[in-house]
Amino acid sequence: MTTARELFEIWAPPGALWSPWVAPALFAQMACPEQFVHADDRTRTMVWHEEMAAPDTAIILDLPGAESVKSGLLLAQIGYRPVPLINASPGPMRLRPTPGTRADVVLDMDSLISEICAGTPWLRHRTLELDAPPAFILDGSRATGTRPLRDDLFDNRWMVFPQDFPSARFLAKQKIKRVLLVQTRRTQPMEDLRHVLLRWQEEGIGVFLKASAGAETPSEIVVAKPSRYRAFWYRALAMMGLRRSSAGGFGGFEPESFGGG
Amino acid sequence: MTQPWAAARPLTPESWISVRARMMFDCCKWDMQSQDHAVLADFPLVLEEDAWNVLATQSEQLAVETLAAERELVERPDLHRRLGLSRSLRKALNCEAKSRPVECARVMRFDFHWTAEGWRISEVNSDVPGGFIEASGFAEIMNEYYSSYAPPPNPASSYADAIAATAGNDATIGLVHATANSDDAQVMHYLAQGLQRKGLRAVVIGPNHLKWESGLARIASSFATATPAVLVRFFPAEWLPNLRPEAIWKPWFCGGKTAMSNPGSAILTQSKRFPLVWDELNAPLATWRSLLPETRCPREVPAPSSEWVLKPVLGRVGQDVLVAGVTEARASAEIVTNAKRHPDLWVAQRRFETIALQTHAGTREAGLGVFTVDGWAAGVYGRLATKRLIDQDAQDIAVLIRRKVSR
């Protein structure tokens, strides 16, 4: 069994530029059995990206959990640093769930955890530059969950805040000029992420969008202003989950239709 | 004036990597980064023993006064509106004496600042105080590297002892919080570890996982079923009325017979407008009066003003506080507008000038949150800011104590 700390340090090696943004919450609450540690050595390809990482481009993968992790590992193959920013609990207790564990949760993270476990040995042996450009890994299901919301389930949905990411100033200092958002559909980014992206865009970072399935090239978008943007009470209200007064959890953030190219 | 504290030298990078890892994986500290800065400081704040003794004594006096005031305030629903509490909270708090919740392990945190006039407090967090991980595990780990100093009392351990004393052997403790909020979940997991070490069964749940029958709570969820002996709440009292149906949250304020820490009535002193009703109370509040800066309704002071700080009545972690010249212009304008429109939801506190702490990284604003558990000083949570406001951008700093040399 690989320990939580060993797992984390493979994904967030000390000294790597983007390691501070790897969220430890998930790693601290999961474990990988041995069979996963040795299982994955597949050849990976990425159909929609150029052959090499672009040093001036950060990527945000906002796909359903496992797909995000898988894509992050594909991007590692061409030189990106996968940065899991999964700030969530996989289950109700400190159970260290292993793949295949049934969890009574709103957001089932089993396949995401499996993918992390499967990819870890491959990543461990991958030599990435310490300042390799980042591929931030989110879970596109974080707001809606994977099961209908029920009061008896453990609500482990989550959301991102600007504080979870580096600032535009920090990105610019690393010569990052654009960010490429990859999600399932060509819609506006999820609302919580728009709070991050619009700040970046306002500071001069180009925001590009790509649907994961298509072969078309990424296109630049104008990030729509999210509700309560820069409102001084935004975080407090978001935390309270006022958008849907369900117990304990946050509200749903449905993506808005993104018209045009 | 003698400084009560000093910043120690930073740890070596190798040691710091180890401390960080232990914080994440042994102490459940999961919010390690906030935008571009590390949340934890890589050096401790060393507090003189005399200073700690003063803070501990004052905190214990404040805790006694706070509970005395709360006991009066629950009998005085006529004052609840002046505290800036919502209608639903006021309704919930209007409870006959015989139906008031059973409480135990009362925990609070008083936030101290060092000024030219001595210590001042800015507020109490009497509802759901945070900082357990940093004041407990972080201080103890850092103490291993700075062994000539002593760690302050461990508030998580004291809290677990107080809970265990009520719960008894092998009991189940329900740790109630907003399960989707990782920042809160980490505190619950950390406290759960401490409770488990004392032989208690800790179950981490949301408020919706409680079913109340004749005032007694039962954990009824798809992942756990149990009858808790004690409920620990890390879900702010003012959020509870957002939940539906009312039956799942009302017993925190009225009718709950399962021992709880803290009861919903803690919101009465958590309100930053608490000082505005002092003159209506019989409780002696001498320590409060001597340590808290003058506090007024925003209607009575100019805004914006360099002399007054505006605070939301139920703000936490320094969020949405207006300090002239510190809070960014856009937020300041919003706060002033909001405070003028809804003055009863804000409070004005006379600004006090703190004495900054010199560190290897430069000048910092420092604040100390002193925990009390059942009235006893139980530990200290250090915060460090680059600006003259300690808010969500501040760093957590381990606090250690320099013992007096024996004569």
Q: What mean pLDDT is predicted for residues B261-280? A: 98
Q: How many CB atoms lie within 10 A of CB B246?
A: 12
Q: What is the CA radius of gyration of chain B?
A: 21
Q: Give the tokens for residue B370.
A: 């002193």
HEC-encoded secondary structure of B246-259: HHHCHHHCCCCCCE
Selected residues 293-352 of chain B with any CB under 8 Å from a CB in chain A: 312, 315-316, 319-320, 330-331, 334-335
Mean pLDDT of chain B: 95
At B255, list the tokens.
């009718």
The model's pLDDT over A112-150, given as tens digits with 9 standing for 90+, comes to 999 999 999 999 999 999 999 999 999 999 999 999 988
Helices then strands, counting H and E runs in chain A, come out as 8, 6
Is A37 inside any structural domain? yes
pLDDT for A42 beyond 80: no
Structural domain includes residue A249: no
pLDDT given for residue A33 in this prediction: 77
Verify whether the Cβ–Cβ distance B186 to A231 is below 8 Å. no
> Domain total for chain A?
1
* β-strand pairing of B230-233 with B362-373: unpaired
Nearest residue of chain B to residue A230 (CA atoms): B331
Mean pLDDT of B82-98: 96
Give residue A80's domain range.
Answer: 4-240
Best mutation site among B173, B182, B249, B323 for testing chain A: the one with the most A CBs within 10 Å? B182
In whole angstroms, what is the distance from residue B177 CA to residue A251 CA?
A: 16
Alpha helices for A92-246 (secondary structure H): 110-124, 168-173, 191-202, 234-240
DSSP state of B354: B
For residue range B33-79, list pLDDT tens digits in order.
999 999 999 999 999 999 999 999 999 999 999 999 999 999 999 99
Alpha-helical runs (H) found in B96-181: 132-133, 139-145, 155-167
* Residue B289: φ, ψ to 5°: -65, -30
> CB distance B206–A170 less than 8 Å?
no
Backbone angles phi and psi of B43, in degrees to 5: -150, 155
- A187 falls within a domain: yes
| CB pair distance less than 8 Å for A230 and B330 | yes
Higher pLDDT, A255 or A64: A64
Is the CB of B47 inside 8 Å of chain A's CB atoms?
A: no
Is the pLDDT confidence value at A36 over 80?
no
pLDDT of residue A213: 85
Q: Which pLDDT does position B85 carry in this prediction?
A: 97
A150: contact with B, CB 8 A cutoff: yes
- CB-CB under 8 Å, B208 with A166: no
Chain B residue nearest residue A239, CA to CA: B181
CB of B178 closer than 8 Å to CB of B235: yes
Q: Does residue A245 belong to any structural domain of this protein? A: no
In tens, the pLDDT along A4-27 reads 999 999 999 999 999 999 999 999
Say yes or no to pLDDT of A35 above 70.
no
What's the pLDDT at A261?
36
Test mutation, A26, A30, A154, chain B, max B CBs within 10 A: A154
B33, B88, B246: best to mutate for the A interface, most A CBs within 10 A: B33
Distance CA A146, CA B89 (A): 34
Residue tagged 């070490």 (tokens): B197
Asked if residue A55 belongs to a domain, the reply is yes
Question: Is A17 exposed, middle or buried (CB count within 10 Å of its CB: 0-12, 13-18, 19+)?
Answer: middle
Residue A259 included in any domain: no
Q: Is residue A113 situated within a structural domain?
A: yes
pLDDT in tens, A149-198: 888 999 999 999 999 999 999 999 999 999 999 999 989 999 999 999 99
Whether A247 and B208 lie within 8 Å, measured CB to CB: yes
pLDDT tens for A198-256 read 999 999 999 999 998 877 889 999 999 998 887 766 766 666 653 343 433 433 333 33
Q: Quick check: B204 and A93 CB within 8 A?
A: yes
Using the Cβ of A241 and the Cβ atoms of chain B, whether some distance falls under 8 Å is answered with yes
Contact A94 B189 (CB under 8 A): yes
Whether pLDDT at A66 is above 90: yes
Tell whether A192 is covered by a domain. yes
* 3-state percent breakdown (helix, strand, coil) of chain A, nearest 5: 30, 15, 55
Q: Does B56 touch chain A (CB under 8 A)?
A: no
- Is A247 in the B-facing interface, judged by CB distances under 8 Å? yes
Chain A, window 49-108: residues with a beta carbon less than 8 angstroms from a chain B beta carbon: 87-89, 91-94, 103-104
Q: Specify which residues B109 forms β-bridges with.
A: B125, B371
